[in-house]
Amino acid sequence: MSAILPPAQRVWWRQPVDRVEILWIAIAFIWCLVMFFMMPYWHVYGKQNLSSETYRVTPEQFSKATQAMVDKYTVRTETDEKIPVVRPPADSDVFLIARLWSFWPILELEQGKTYRLHLTAMDYQHGFSLQPENINVQVVPGYEHVITVTPNRAGTYAIVCNEFCGIGHHKMVSKLYVK
Ligand code: CUA
């Protein structure tokens, strides 16, 4: 049979299922179940799929809250784009914007202190992947994802966008300081 000519038999799909095909369907199905149950498993034991609260938010509201934090707590700027590095007080609400193709601002948190980290996307879906911890949060426009975090190890962490968001996706990286 070729894709150019119509099939010789009009009903060409009604054939007995081969044993090998059943076997592969079973293997794929079992693997789907394994991956499905890994999600709650990693939440409890892997500390990677964090609990988050989600609220509706507009880009304007979120920008305003982020700008207020930046105006108050910026300690320096970094890179040629002069991205503010913000050191907010412990127990406060901290905001991070994801947009084409950057994160804004850069956060500097204190080890052992707790923060409420708010994430949103200004335009399309982005990802918040914290490396090397491998913490992953999907960041969706129109929603504010709030995660309560207590950084337990000092260092410079990388933030990577891990949802494909267009031509600059591979450049959408930032960092997070824990001191
Ligand atoms: Cu943002 Cu990929």
CA 142 from chain center: how many Å? 15
- Give, using CA atoms, the residue closest to atom 1 of ligand 1: 126
Tens digits of per-residue pLDDT, 90-120? 999 999 999 999 999 999 999 999 999 999 9
pLDDT at position 50, please?
81
Rounded to the nearest whole angstrom, what is the distance from the C-alpha of residue 162 to the centroid of ligand 1?
6
Measure the CA–CA gap between 34 and 55, rounded to whole angstroms: 30
Rounded to the nearest whole angstrom, what is the distance from the C-alpha of residue 41 to the centroid of ligand 1?
27
Residue with tokens 């995660």: 147
Q: Is the CB of 164 under 6 A from ligand 1?
A: yes
Whether pTM > 0.85 for this model: the answer is: no
Can you say whether the dihedral through the CA atoms of 141, 70, 171, 108 is positive or negative? negative
Q: Which of 79-83, 88-92, 158-162 has the lowest mean pLDDT?
A: 79-83
Nearest atom (ligand 1) to Cα of 163? 2
pLDDT at 2 over 70: no
Q: Please, which pLDDT band fits residue 133 given cuts at 50, 70 and 90?
A: confident
Whether residue 152 contacts residue 61, with contact meaning beta carbons closer than 8 Å, is answered with no
- The separation between the first and the last C-alpha atoms of the chain, rounded to the nearest angstrom, is 66
Tens digits of per-residue pLDDT, 22-39? 999 999 999 999 999 998
pLDDT at 163 over 80: yes
Measure the CA–CA gap between 11 and 4, rounded to whole angstroms: 17
Mean of pLDDT over the chain: 92
pLDDT at 1 over 60: no
